[in-house]
Amino acid sequence: MILSIEQVSISSREKRLVDNVSLSIREGEWCALVGQSGSGKTLLSQAIGQILSPNLQVEGKILFKEEDLLSLSQKQMRTIRGQKLSYIFQDYQGSFTPFRTIGQHFEEYQKAHDILDAKMRKLKSMDALGSVGLDEALYNRYPFQLSGGQLQRVSIAMALLLSPDLLIADEVTTALDSVSGHKVLELLARRQKEIGCAILFITHDWRHVRRYATRLAVMKEGKIVESGGKHRILDHPQHEYTKQLIQAAPTLRRGLPSGLQEVENV
């Protein structure tokens, strides 16, 4: 297993927000974590990288390649984040400083991970932009000069720049229209195959789960109520809450949404 979450609980002063959760992800696997807003999905993902709010307390173990991340210092975690464990956030636009170019963002990201050769940083940045289908000219542009789909592609390029073993993607299509969202996920699926990383995919969209996930877990009120292979759960859900979510979801049809075949660019 690349990641084993063992009996993890997350609490504030007032209440327990995530309750005794266990979840495992294999190398190269696309694991979807599904549930309604407020179910604890994002909190659990933030606990993995130790980026939770400091007023929250975490109990249990989070084993990443058999090393307990919860036992590491912030200095040790900064080495792991980006190189071995990377994030794409729902608020991807908030990850960019408006008055720094895309190239400057790539520069700072690499410097933070001790890539000190300037020519190497530029080359890796250009390769990363090309890997997500973006023109090299975007290197000198500012975030506000890019469309939402382009900026999300830049987020993916940066998150996968150092070929992490695990990528955590938190509601990465929420701020995009359906066409752009589909294209971004197709790109992410292609890059995953090229790099071989595992993905923890946090979503509430069952259509994306059906198309991309291999396994999934369902969260309700801070607990995982059902987990297993995608087809087993989608075709034969056992828990009443899972049944309700699937029944309430839009049609879980396979293939592209209508009209997407004609769309070439995000």
Give all domains of the chain, ordered by start, each with its CATH number: 23-52+65-255 (3.40.50.300)
- Give the contacts of 195 (CB within 8 A, at least 6 positions apart): 160, 163, 164
Location of structure tokens 């979807």: 32
**DSSP string of 28-84, one letter each residue:** T-EEEEE--TTSSHHHHHHHHTT-S-TT-EEEEEEEETTEEGGGS-HHHHHHHHHHT
Does residue 265 have a pLDDT over 60? no
Averaged pLDDT of the chain: 89
34-93: per-residue pLDDT in tens?
998 899 999 999 999 999 999 999 999 999 999 999 999 999 998 899 889 999 987 777
132-147: per-residue pLDDT in tens?
989 999 999 999 999 8
**How would you write 180-225 as a 3-class SS string?**
HHHHHHHHHHHHHHHHCCEEEEEECCHHHHHHHCCEEEEEECCEEE
How far apart, in whole angstroms, are the C-alpha atoms of residue 241 and residue 247?
A: 10
Predicted pLDDT at 251: 59
